[in-house]
């Protein structure tokens, strides 16, 4: 079932989450129990106590204390049925750790989820994972191996960047559109089926299983006092050996980069596409931990490390991702519909050498931060703003010469796109600069200083297909059509 090419795994410290993966491509149930102990049931109070003792945090990016989530659902369990929801919707293109766990060590994740479900006397465990991917097949097979088809459900959902947001995930599992609901509702109050739901990400449940297996004292025997245990990092970009690395907090980030033979070049992206760029000097001096990342000026987030290398244009790479993030919005609020395309265009102008490029980017970022229905605008603004700070010399080079002289080699990973993806296409021999298209679909079209349209370098999101078709039909010069790139 598992093809030859699976995520490579490396360790800097003890192998806990990745135990056995050096010898086996996938741990089936029998092999799993040769590597890990069979777990006995725990009371909810015992699980809360263990999680508090080691300060177990969620590994999806927000680092929310797991014990607080567990306690909140346990308090509601006295009066209601509950559900355990494993967030395996790894919509972040630069992350592979959750896919790796579900593909190669699915039973460790299920052990943690079942442990929590038993303590809460939950109605069901739901594993929400990208539909059609190898991880979905692997965890489905693992559920079948355990004979748990009646109490564990694998829910295949559409993978998008925002699909892992808690509210969007709950809606997708409930059969609704997988978009953030706008109004914040705690899953511990109302989640799957409207029931109190313990929602945490894939690695968090695997960590819970390891904690129960080792006990708090042994679990905390590695790492730092503030951040005990191990963590998973996805290392990519310029890395010669891209891998998921299990590392103990307190290790130098430089050791991780060296292990994967990654050339830093201009800098390192830490925390993914809602994270921050670190200049090379700061990256080499950083310590792998939440606190260490913060001290270096970055964010550990979901444990994503992308080394840029020195052969690609940093600003061009940032523009690629800014366009992608703008297209990945839910399209439900102004900061996403209008603000993120404006931010992407401002970043493109900066990369093209606009004298006031940094100011354009800062103004566009200010217009979206803190105003969205979810945190997507905030994270996107943080990513883009960190680029103009980390690559200040490159910004100046572009301002003076219009380019740094390097091509955009697409080092930052993005999902494969269909070359036939629908987008607005203009016939410049017909276009007369009426500007109507920019009024009808301002999310996709802006006007240059001559009054002619400038288009977003991305496809037409589904939520804009109607407006895009209207712009085509109403173009006075019949210069617009929907076509491929």
pLDDT tens track for 44-54: 999 999 999 99
The single-letter DSSP state of residue 37 is: P
Q: Which CATH architecture has domain 9-219?
A: 3-Layer(aba) Sandwich (3.40)
pLDDT at residue 417 tops 70: no
Residue 204 burial (C-beta neighbours within 10 Å; 0-12, 13-18, 19+): buried
Q: What is the mean pLDDT of the chain?
A: 91
Structure tokens at 145: 């191996």
Asked whether residue 5 carries a pLDDT value surpassing 70, the answer given is no
Domain ranges of the chain: 9-219, 231-307, 325-401, 423-483
The total of other beta-carbon atoms located within 10 Å of residue 295's CB is: 13
2, pLDDT greater than 80: no
What is the pLDDT, as a whole number, of residue 249? 97
Q: Is the pLDDT of residue 380 over 90?
A: yes
Q: Which residues contact 218 (CB under 8 A, 6 or more apart)?
A: none
Question: Looking up tokens 């990400």, which residue turns up?
Answer: 201
- Does residue 319 carry a pLDDT above 80? yes
Question: What is the fold, at CATH topology level, of the domain defined by 231-307?
Answer: Ubiquitin-like (UB roll) (3.10.20)
pLDDT digits (tens, 9 = 90+) for 96-126: 999 999 999 999 999 999 999 999 999 999 9
CA distance 361 to 260: 33
- pLDDT of 71 strictly over 60: yes
Backbone angles phi, psi at 425, to 5 degrees: -125, 135
Question: By the 8 A CB rule, do 336 and 367 touch?
Answer: no
pLDDT on residue 350: 96
Tell me the C-alpha distance between 141 and 103, whole Å: 10
**Residue 154, pLDDT score:** 97
Position 165 scores a pLDDT of: 85
Share of the chain above pLDDT 90, in %: 70
Q: Highest mean pLDDT: which of 77-81, 88-92, 136-140, 428-432?
A: 136-140
- Length of the chain in residues, anyone? 485
Distances (CA, A) of 178 to 62, 329, 415: 20, 11, 18
The dihedrals phi and psi of 464, each to the nearest 5 degrees, come to -115, 5
Q: How far is CA 261 from CA 74, 256, 258, 302, 370, in A?
A: 45, 9, 5, 21, 38
In the predicted model, is pLDDT for residue 449 greater than 60? yes
Residue 419: pLDDT above 50? no
In CATH, which of 3.40.50.300, 3.20.20.140, 3.30.70.20, 3.20.20.10 is domain 423-483?
3.30.70.20
Instruction: Report the share of the chain in percent with pLDDT over 70.
Output: 97
Q: What does the pLDDT read at residue 485?
A: 61
Lowest mean pLDDT among 78-82, 331-335, 351-355: 331-335
Residue pLDDT, tens place only, 183-205: 678 899 999 999 999 999 999 99
- In CATH terms, the fold of domain 325-401 is de novo design (two linked rop proteins) (1.20.1440)
CA 353, distance to chain mean position in Å, is 30
458 confidence band (pLDDT: 50, 70, 90): confident
Counting Cβ atoms within 10 Å, is residue 258 exposed (0-12), middle (13-18) or buried (19+)?
exposed
Residue 80 CA to chain centroid, in angstroms?
Answer: 32
Which tokens is 287 given? 């310590």
Instruction: Find how far residue 476's CA is from the centre of its chain.
Output: 42
What is the C-alpha separation between 346 and 360, in angstroms, rounded?
6
Q: Tell me the C-alpha distance between 163 and 61, whole Å.
A: 14
**Banded pLDDT at 267 (limits 50, 70, 90):** very high
Read off the pLDDT of each residue in 79-103 and give the average, rounded to a whole number.
Answer: 94
Residues 6+ apart with CB under 8 A from 8: 241, 242, 243, 244
Nearest to 424 by CA among 451, 453, 449, 447: 453
Buried b (16+ CB within 10 A) or exposed e, 139-167: bbbbbeebeeeeebbbbbbebbbbbbbbb
Q: What is the mean pLDDT of residues 207-227?
A: 97
Neighbours of 298 (CB within 10 A): 25
Residue 80 has pLDDT above 70, yes or no: yes
Angle at 116 between CA 214 and CA 304, to 5 degrees: 70
């Amino acid at each position: 079932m598992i093809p030859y090419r699976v995520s490579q795994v490396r360790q800097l410290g003890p192998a806990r989450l990745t135990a056995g993966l050096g010898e086996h491509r996938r741990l089936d149930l029998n092999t799993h129990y040769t590597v890990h102990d069979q777990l006995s049931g725990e009371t909810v109070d015992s699980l809360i106590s263990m999680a508090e003792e080691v300060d177990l945090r969620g590994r999806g990016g927000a680092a929310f204390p797991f014990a607080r989530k567990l306690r909140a659902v346990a308090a509601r369990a006295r009066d209601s049925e509950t559900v355990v929801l494993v967030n395996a919707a790894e919509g972040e293109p630069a992350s592979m750790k959750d896919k790796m766990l579900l593909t190669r060590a699915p039973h460790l994740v299920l052990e943690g989820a079942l442990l929590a479900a038993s303590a809460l006397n939950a109605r069901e465990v739901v594993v929400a994972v990208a539909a059609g991917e190898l991880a979905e097949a692997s965890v489905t097979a693992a559920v079948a191996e355990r004979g748990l088809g009646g109490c564990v459900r694998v829910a295949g959902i559409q993978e998008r960047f925002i699909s892992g947001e808690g509210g969007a995930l709950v809606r997708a599992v409930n059969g609704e559109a997988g978009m953030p609901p706008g109004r914040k509702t705690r899953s511990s109050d109302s989640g799957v089926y409207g029931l109190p739901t313990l929602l945490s990400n894939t690695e968090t449940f695997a960590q819970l299983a390891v904690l129960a297996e080792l006990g708090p004292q042994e679990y905390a025997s590695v790492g730092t006092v503030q951040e005990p245990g191990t963590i998973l990092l996805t290392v990519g970009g310029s890395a010669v050996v891209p891998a998921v690395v299990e590392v103990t907090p307190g290790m130098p980030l430089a050791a991780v980069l060296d292990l994967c033979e990654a050339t830093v070049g201009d800098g390192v992206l830490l925390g993914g596409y809602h994270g921050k760029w670190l200049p090379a000097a700061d990256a080499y001096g950083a310590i792998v931990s939440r606190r260490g990342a913060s001290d270096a000026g970055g964010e550990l987030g979901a444990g994503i490390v992308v080394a840029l290398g020195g052969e690609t244009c940093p600003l061009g790479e940032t523009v690629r991702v800014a366009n992608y993030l703008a297209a990945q919005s839910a399209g439900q609020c102004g900061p996403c519909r209008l603000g993120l395309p404006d931010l992407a265009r401002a970043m493109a102008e900066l990369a093209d050498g606009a004298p006031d490029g940094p100011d354009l980017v800062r103004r566009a970022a200010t217009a979206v931060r803190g105003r969205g229905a979810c945190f997507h605008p905030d994270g996107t603004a943080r990513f883009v703003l960190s680029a103009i700070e980390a690559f200040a010399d490159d910004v100046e080079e572009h301002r003076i010469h219009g380019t740094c002289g390097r091509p955009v080699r697409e080092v930052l990973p993005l999902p494969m796109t269909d070359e036939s993806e629908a987008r607005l296409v203009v016939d410049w021999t017909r276009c007369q600069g009426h500007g109507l298209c920019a009024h009808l679909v301002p999310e996709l079209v802006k006007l240059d200083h001559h009054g002619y349209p400038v288009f977003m370098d991305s496809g037409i999101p589904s939520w804009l297909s109607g407006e895009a078709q209207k712009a085509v039909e109403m173009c006075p010069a019949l210069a617009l059509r929907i076509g491929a790139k």
